[in-house]
Amino acid sequence: MARSRPTRPQIPNLSKLLTKIEETLRVEIDAEAQKLMDAQSQKFVSQIQRQDFESFHEYPLSPPYLRRKMRLGADTRVMIATATYTNGIRVFTKRITGPRKQYRIGFHWSAKARTLKGEVSPILLHDLGVVQEYGTMKTNLPARPHWRPYKQQVFAPALQSWRTSVPMRVLARVRDIYGAAVEIGT
């Protein structure tokens, strides 16, 4: 009777496995980051639409400007004459060093504001946001901070929470995909 040869244990190529795990981690973290940024962008726009910033109430629209908005049928809330401002707020991603991405909430660099009559204005939405945030003495426009308060009061805590909860979710996802191979490194 012939003796069967013992089978050799299958040892995975650790270099390939680690590369696949790293790629999976990157994809999962990017997906989680995109979800966070999309949700935060929507919350920010919603907060503007609800007029949920102190500065909007502290410095309401001037009576002449409010009358003009009403006469032209524009929205009478602060920052929402034509909705171009809120509709222009988006999430942008940019590749930085290798596979890493940088996320930001803001306006497209070339997006333009609109006049109360709905015509395209020469003013960039980014510039309009800066003027609204900090005010200007040139046109006697008061500062109506909304980007900075949102970042400090809502976005920063959400990001901190994300930084503590996402690694566990991502690791669980990697374990689902690669099983015991991940347990070796933990």
Q: What is the pLDDT of residues 17-72, one digit of tens each?
A: 788 888 888 888 888 889 999 999 999 999 999 999 999 999 999 999 999 999 99
Q: Strands, E, within the chain: which ranges?
A: 90-95, 101-106, 112-114, 120-124
Residue 127 above 50 pLDDT?
A: yes
Distance between CA 115 and CA 182 in Å, rounded? Answer: 57
Residue 180 above 60 pLDDT?
A: no
Considering just the CA atoms, what is the radius of gyration of the chain in Å?
Answer: 25
Percentage with pLDDT > 70 across the chain: 92
Biggest alpha carbon–alpha carbon distance for the chain: 105
Q: Of residues 171 and 71, which shows the higher confidence score? A: 71
Query: What φ, ψ does residue 122 adopt, rounded to 5°?
Result: -75, -10
Burial of 172 (0-12, 13-18, 19+ CB in 10 A): exposed
- For the whole model, what pTM was predicted? 0.81
Residue 93 above 90 pLDDT?
A: yes
Contact 23, 45 (CB under 8 A): no
Contact 126, 113 (CB under 8 A): no
Q: Of residues 90 and 4, which shows the higher confidence score? A: 90
Mark residue 70 as left, alpha or beta (left: phi above 0; alpha: psi -120 to 50; beta: remaining).
alpha
Q: Per mean pLDDT, which range of 77-81, 152-156, 159-163, 174-178 is the poorest?
A: 174-178
Tally of CB atoms within 10 A around 155: 19
Nearest of 38, 11, 27, 13 to residue 173 by alpha carbon: 27
Residue 14 above 80 pLDDT?
A: no
Distance between CA 146 and CA 156 in Å, rounded? Answer: 14
Percentage with pLDDT > 90 across the chain: 58
Distance between CA 124 and CA 132 in Å, rounded? Answer: 12
Model pLDDT, residue 49: 96
The letter for the amino acid at 70 is: M
